[in-house]
Amino acid sequence: MKPWETLSSEVLHKNPWTSFHKDRFRMPNGFEGDYYYMKTPAGSVVIVPVLADGRLVLHREYRYLFDRVSLEFPCGGIKVEQTPDVAAHAELEEETGYKAQVMEYIHKIAPSNGMFKEYSDIYLATGLTDGDAKPDKTEEFEVVLMTPEEVDQAIEEKEIWDGFTIIAWQLTRQKVLDTINKL
């Protein structure tokens, strides 16, 4: 599979959070077409926080676009001036109130890679100490502590439907279970 050639590129729309782009491309077989995609300024982070007793820290959040409450791991955009590690610490504290002594990088994935030009870094947070959450004015969080079995069940029962949360759990589940088995 050979790379496609970009013939031209334009920004269709830009707001403080995302931009929308249109590229004219040419495939190796000569086919030309238009490709539309979204971009964020610096990507995002997802954090799987694990307490010393093996319970996981999630939160309930109202998702405006779906008019529905979503059960999620802490997640958020990386600010242009932040490193992913700094963003992970900040998002964890803002959304749950917990601070992490250890923020372990686990993996990098691309959310919906056909239409979204972004990478998301996944972290496992341990050594947690409790504090006050600091949501911004459009965020409302309710912290929920769950066992791994309860997280599995919440996915099965569709209480968890956020893609970032499902993937972060897929990538950390075995590591969390192995850690709990050693407790």
Judged by the rule CB under 8 A, the positions of this chain that interact with another protein are 1, 3-4, 12-13, 15, 17-18, 20, 23, 25, 27, 29, 31, 33, 35-38, 40, 60, 62-67, 69-70, 107-117, 120, 137-138, 140, 142, 152, 155-156, 158, 161-164, 166-167, 169-171
Q: How far is the CB of 60 from another protein (least distance, A)?
A: 7
Burial of 98 (0-12, 13-18, 19+ CB in 10 A): buried
Using the minimum distance from each CB to another protein, give the nearer residue, 53 or 178. Answer: 178
**Cβ proximity to another protein, 90 vs 155, nearer residue:** 155
What minimum distance in Å lies between the beta carbon of 101 and another protein? 25
Residue 66 or 102: the one with the smaller Cβ distance to another protein is 66
* Closest C-alpha to 160, from 168, 151, 173, 171: 151
The sign of the CA dihedral 136, 37, 82, 108 is positive
Separation CA 41–CA 17 (nearest Å): 7
* Closest to another protein by CB, 10 or 81: 10
To the nearest whole angstrom, how small is the minimum distance from the Cβ of residue 76 to another protein?
A: 9
CB 99 to another protein: min, Å: 24
Structural contact between residues 46 and 73, judged by C-beta atoms closer than 8 angstroms: yes
- In this structure, are residues 14 and 22 in contact, taking their beta carbons and an 8 Å threshold? no
Three-class DSSP category at 165: helix
Q: How far is the CB of 9 from another protein (least distance, A)?
A: 11
- For the range 110-114, what are the long-range contacts, defined as Cβ-Cβ under 8 Å and sequence gap of 24 or more? 111/44, 111/163, 111/164, 112/163
User: Nearer to another protein by C-beta: 79 or 127?
Assistant: 79
Structure tokens at 60: 């309930």
- As measured in angstroms, the least distance from the Cβ of 131 to another protein is 21
Residue closer to another protein, measured from CB, 129 or 138: 138
